[in-house]
Structure 1
Amino acid sequence: MKGQGYIIFAFIFALVIAVFAVINVDPVQVNYLFGSGEAPLILVILISVLLGGLATASVGAVRYFKLKRENRSLHQQLTKDKSSIPKKDEETKEPEKSNVQKENSTFKTP
């Protein structure tokens, strides 16, 4: 359900941006690092939203891959640690048998 809400929110956001961009079609002066030019405001809005989305997605992707790598290393460490721990059943059964045998040998019934 969480994923569906995200998709619905993204669709509504894209629709609002598209309507906002279509309303603003007048040409505007755009200053670049290396010069200036004139472009329709609709293109400036859409390119700005696209670049913002790409920047956000790239940061999210970097974080996702870091967490995935950390998860994989922790999972490998966990399986390694599990294999080095002896089973609990084998440890507890043997001492109980020896204690029971000792008690039987000290207390003899007539």
Structure 2
Amino acid sequence: MKNQWRIIIGLVLTLMIVIFAVLNNMNVPVNFGFSQFSAPLIIVIIGSAFLGAVVVALVATGTMWQQRREIKQLNQQINSLTKDIDKKVADKKEELEREYNNKLAEFKAAQTVYPTEEKIKEIDSEG
């Protein structure tokens, strides 16, 4: 929708320039500082508008290329940082699993019931 409005506004401005140029069709002198010539005003207006459009397109294209390059660099940085975070998470997970397994083993060892002397005598008397 936003681009449609841009196109419509661009067409309206172009139409205004064309109408203005057609209404002003007399010969005018054009001075470049080092040379001078005479041309119909319509050609001067349309030529100036065309040159302005070319300048705007070049500036916009340069800005777009710069932004694309920056976006590419930032995406590479994001991917690098994501890989780094994933590696750190995996390392921390392994560390926590080892710590958990060690504590579990300690807990199981502490919970093992060793036979008391009474239990040993009882087992001996039965056998």
Over the residues paired in the alignment, what is the CA RMSD in angstroms? 2.5
- Of 90, 94, 99, which residue of structure 1 is paired with 2:97? 94
Q: Secondary structure at the match of 1:33?
A: coil
| TM-score when normalising by structure 1 | 0.80
TM-score, with structure 2 as normaliser: 0.71
Q: Where do residues 1-110 of structure 1 align in structure 2 (5 Å cutoff)? A: 1-85=1-85, 86=87, 88=89, 91-92=92-93, 94=97, 97-98=100-101, 101=104, 105=108
Residue 104 of structure 1: CA displacement? 5.1
Count of residues in Structure 1 that have an aligned counterpart in Structure 2: 109
Structure of larger gyration radius: 2
- Secondary structure of 2:60's partner? helix
TM-aligned CA deviation for residue 94 of structure 1: 2.1
Gaps of 5+ in 2: 112-127
Identity %: 34
Structure 1 unmatched ranges of 5 or more:
none
Offset at residue 95 of structure 1 (A) = 6.8
Measured in 1, the distance between the counterparts of 2:81 and 2:15 equals 51
Identify the structure with bigger relative contact order (alpha carbons < 8 Å, sequence gap 6+): 1
